Amino acid sequence: MGDSSGPAMLGYDRLLQFPAVGILFGPVGLDAAATQTQPVSKLALWVVALNLGIFSWFKAEYGMVGLLLGLTPLLLVAQKCLGYDRRTLSGANPMIFSAFVDTIWGTTTVALFLIGVLSDWDPRLYAFSTIPFVGVLIVFVTLTHQSSRSFRSLDVEETVGPLSARVTVVLAIIIGTQTYAFGFPKSGIWSILTLGVTKAWTWYFMARTAQHSSWRTAGAAGIFSMVATIDPSIHSSDTQAFLHLVGSLIVLAQTIHIIPSHPKAKSALWFFSLVPIVPFVSNMLDIRTAQSLLIHSKNHPIEALVRNANANFETLLKNQSTTYTAAHHEYVRRYGIQPPPGFEAWFQYAKAHASPTIDDFNILYSAISPLWRLSGQEVMDAMGRAYNAPHSELWLCEFSGTTAQTSCRHPYRTRDRSIQLFFNTALGDLQGVFPDINIKFLVNHLDEPRVIVPPNSDSSTRVSGQFTLTNLSKQPVWDVLTRFCSTQINQAVQQHEGQEIKAEQPSTLPFITNHSTALDLCQHPDYKTMHGLLLSPTSLRLFEGLVPILSTGSLSTMGDILYPSPAYTEPEFTYSKDHDVDWDKKRNNLYWAGSTTGGYAVNEQWARFHRQRFVTLAQNLDKRRQHSYLTEDEDGGVSLARSSFLNSRLFDVAFTKVAQCEKWYCRAQRQYFRLKPRAHKDAALGSRLVFDTDGNGISGRFYKLLASNSAVLKQALLREWHDDRLVPWVHFVPVSQGMEELPELVSYLTSTENGQRVARKVGEQGREWFASALRDVDRNVYIYRLLLELARLQDSTRSALL
Ligand SMILES: *[C@@H]1O[C@H](CO)[C@@H](O)[C@H](O)[C@H]1NC(C)=O
């Protein structure tokens, strides 16, 4: 092949892979001095092939940039050490910019600038990227060294045959190993072939570029193609996007400057500045357009939701009983049964500690009452058998009324996730309150809820408290967990009668108006494929039957007795004022970082797990997805506008760890998401809006976020003990499982004056309410009342209620 074939190949190449613009620099150097050829050693060819293989593999696997941005200064060092200087060849035109091309400090500065703008500092990732980095450095230096005496002696035309044969061998070995480890690649054969051919051309032209100028040119062009084609819309700030553009242009300038060519040909290369400029400008325009559509008036449906919720909350506060007689009366009115023995002492305790909630313990009652179908003795028997069932994963705790101490034991575990400590702290005040009686209870060790209670009509399970225990780990559980839905709907309607919070249906976006309806699996068949716990729970071991088990969270169809998670008291999850920031100093965006827990990925369904769906949305990874926004018409009406645009400036969201997956699906997730380095535990507090969603079980960081100045956007399918006292749109902003409303919600709360006011107010109300309704003593009040109910439940003189 002669030089004349260059332009033809150029066209073909552009057709294949436009982003690999680095290769287009190849032919520019063609007018440089003709090459002198020299045979290349076989060893050198193998070294080059091997390192090309390693580099390609890393790039494909991790898509990493990292240290590669530092290639230019290192190639310069290499060249200087090997004893020649490019300038003697190119006759470079002296200009100030030369410092950034020809000096080590100048090129290092540029490299550090790029690293600062484009990469999050993650030591693991950098340690990893040394491998491909060293690989590509060896490729360049080997070839340069070959030719150190007679510069530019590697003749690509001549070595392309033997070299590509070796590269093919290396790649075949890599692909073989990969197939062995992960199974056959899932992408189609055509895309693999196209990509392969494109990459081959890229390397070929890189080599030609190097041949006609220097490897530094190839390196710089490679970096330009890498940097300039990073999507500017992923940046979380305007500044970062702008610096990214500046960085791309500097690298282009470097590349152009290194190339030994006529000034005229060089200026033509500035054409490539469009590669970073066009996406940058287009992204800025998109952001402008989205901002122009925002609703600035009070006609936004969120305003009405907030108004209604605040009014409802006021009513709730006002309606709590203030005397024992009233509390007693209210208990009987709600549940049609006398309160448990000791209720008066409990009331005095709650009142003495200024508990803002006296009557609203429905979540507790609804879990306890189905168990009355067993007698006190049957309850005790069922607990004993459940504890002893193989792999029950239950702690059996015993509270001594005399000492007010609780001791817990497990068939084989010793570390109890702070359970015993938690109960000792919570019940420490109760010495002598339950004279001479011991109360036993089972506490779930796992994150996932445990119990499904068959309806009353199902007589087979009632008989002396029979139950089954099934390992449902890593399999879809929707059908099991919703099989009693038809009967439960009726019960739920009865229970919530008279308390249903009414809110006007605001628009076609699914803003949550009623929290308990939103959690109800029976009313939402679509949840079947929307949550990790329903699709592939990590360690669900389900009891089906009447067994009292304390869990920290449970689904609407489940019968676990809820108690405050001991995790909330652990240092990692407690709020510290020192790490919080004033509202005005917080970044005006939505923050979330975490790992891929929530479900165990054993197949492609991971994409439907709740956390994965959220990050996919917030990182706008599904480019075909249409988002819904609200706009205001001339006459003040609100209507929907659809757009595939999502303003990434408003989202600082990423996975920091891929976990709970089989290797193929770990790899798939690593490649799909833009991972970030592990964040500081209080990093969220730097943002005005903080997202919170379920993990395998409840999210332990919720209270920290609630206690802070930030506003919490809470998405949950799991119920918690506090659901009776936290009010959506007052203390937190609820987010639906489908999240169709999230783009509009975040735009409104960050980018309009009214929305910012709402966000700030929710942040403040959440913080204040946390300080008066979710104090340690509030949890004690709850646990105390729970203990009363448990004592009555297991009272051996109580007979079954039918
Ligand atoms: C439960 O099932 C999962 C998945 O089939 C399995 O990995 C695990 O070992 C089982 N656990 C027990 C205790 O049998």
How many CA atoms, within 13 angstroms, populate the side-chain half-sphere of residue 600? 14
Looking at 169, 198, 215, the residue that finishes a domain is: 215
Q: Are residues 725 and 754 both part of a single domain?
A: yes
DSSP string, 503-537: -----SS---S-HHHHH-GGG-GGGGGT-HHHH--
* Neighbour order of strands in the sheet with 451-452: 451-452, 541-545, 467-471
Q: Are residues 461 and 605 both part of a single domain?
A: no
Q: Are residues 552 and 590 both part of a single domain?
A: no
Nearest CA residue ID for atom 5, ligand 1 = 473
Looking at 175, 198, 215, the residue that finishes a domain is: 215
Three-state secondary structure call for residue 694: coil
Nearest CA residue ID for atom 4, ligand 1 = 473
Q: Are residues 147 and 210 both part of a single domain?
A: yes
Among 448, 471, 538, 600, name the best residue to mutate to test ligand 1's pocket (greatest count of ligand atoms within 8 A of Cβ): 471
What's the rounded mean pLDDT across residues 319-343? 96
Answer yes or no: is 697 within a domain: yes
pLDDT at site 60? 77
Answer yes or no: is 144 within a domain: yes
Q: Are residues 451 and 520 both part of a single domain?
A: yes
What residue ranges line ligand 1, CB within 6 angstroms? 391, 471, 473-474
Answer yes or no: is 98 within a domain: yes
Cβ proximity of 644 and 627 under 8 Å: yes
What residues does 400 pair with on adjacent strands?
A: 438
What's the rounded mean pLDDT across residues 3-30? 31
> What is the average pLDDT score of the chain?
85
**Cβ-proximal residues to 454 (8 Å cutoff; 6+ apart), any chain:** 460, 461, 484, 544, 545, 546
Q: Are residues 489 and 602 both part of a single domain?
A: no
Q: Are residues 84 and 34 both part of a single domain?
A: yes
Work out the pLDDT band at 161, boundaries 50, 70, 90: confident
pLDDT at site 458? 59
The structure tokens 């340069």 sit at 144
If one compares 733 and 4, the residue with the highest pLDDT of the two is 733
Q: Is 147 left (phi over 0), alpha (psi -120 to 50) or beta?
A: alpha
CA-wise closest residue to 71 among 153, 152, 133, 146: 133
Model confidence over 384-407: pLDDT tens digits? 999 999 999 999 999 999 999 999
Answer yes or no: is 681 within a domain: yes
Task: Kindly give the distance from the C-alpha atom of residue 471 to the centroid of ligand 1, in angstroms, as a whole number.
Answer: 6
Model confidence over 328-337: pLDDT tens digits? 999 999 999 9
Q: Are residues 748 and 670 both part of a single domain?
A: yes
Work out the pLDDT band at 487, boundaries 50, 70, 90: low
Q: Are residues 529 and 611 both part of a single domain?
A: no
Which domain CATH number covers 592?
A: 3.40.50
Q: Are residues 560 and 585 both part of a single domain?
A: no
Q: Are residues 514 and 657 both part of a single domain?
A: no
Report residue 593: phi and psi, to 5°. -145, 145
Cβ proximity of 533 and 696 under 8 Å: yes
pLDDT at site 264? 80
Q: Is the pLDDT of residue 790 over 50?
A: yes
CA atoms of 186 and 198, how far apart (whole Å): 19
Q: Could you list the beta-strand ranges (E) of 289-401.
A: 394-400
Structure tokens at 207: 């080599």
Answer yes or no: is 248 within a domain: no
CA atoms of 590 and 489, how far apart (whole Å): 35
Q: Could you list the beta-strand ranges (E) of 625-675.
A: 627-632, 638-643, 651-657
If one compares 27 and 534, the residue with the highest pLDDT of the two is 534
Q: Are residues 578 and 720 both part of a single domain?
A: yes
CA atoms of 97 and 257, how far apart (whole Å): 8
Nearest CA residue ID for atom 6, ligand 1 = 473
Q: Is the pLDDT of residue 567 over 50?
A: yes
How many CA atoms, within 13 angstroms, populate the side-chain half-sphere of residue 396? 18
Answer yes or no: is 749 within a domain: yes
Answer yes or no: is 556 within a domain: yes
Nearest CA residue ID for atom 3, ligand 1 = 473
Answer yes or no: is 485 within a domain: yes
Work out the pLDDT band at 154, boundaries 50, 70, 90: low
Model confidence over 663-682: pLDDT tens digits? 889 989 988 998 888 888 89
What's the rounded mean pLDDT across residues 272-300? 94
pLDDT at site 6? 31
Domain span holding position 156: 11-215
What's the rounded mean pLDDT across residues 92-114? 80
Structure tokens at 214: 């220097």
Work out the pLDDT band at 477, boundaries 50, 70, 90: very high
pLDDT at site 423? 95
Looking at 215, 234, 268, the residue that finishes a domain is: 215
Three-state secondary structure call for residue 631: strand
pLDDT at site 529? 96
Work out the pLDDT band at 23, boundaries 50, 70, 90: very low
Give the H or E element holding residue 254: helix 238-258
Work out the pLDDT band at 759, boundaries 50, 70, 90: very high
Count the domains in the chain: 3
Model confidence over 57-83: pLDDT tens digits? 887 777 666 777 888 888 888 777 765
Nearest CA residue ID for atom 8, ligand 1 = 473
What's the rounded mean pLDDT across residues 222-247? 91
CA distance from start to end of the chain: 93
Task: Kindly give the distance from the C-alpha atom of residue 473 to the centroid of ligand 1, in angstroms, as a whole number.
Answer: 6
How many whole angstroms from its chain centre is CA 692? 10
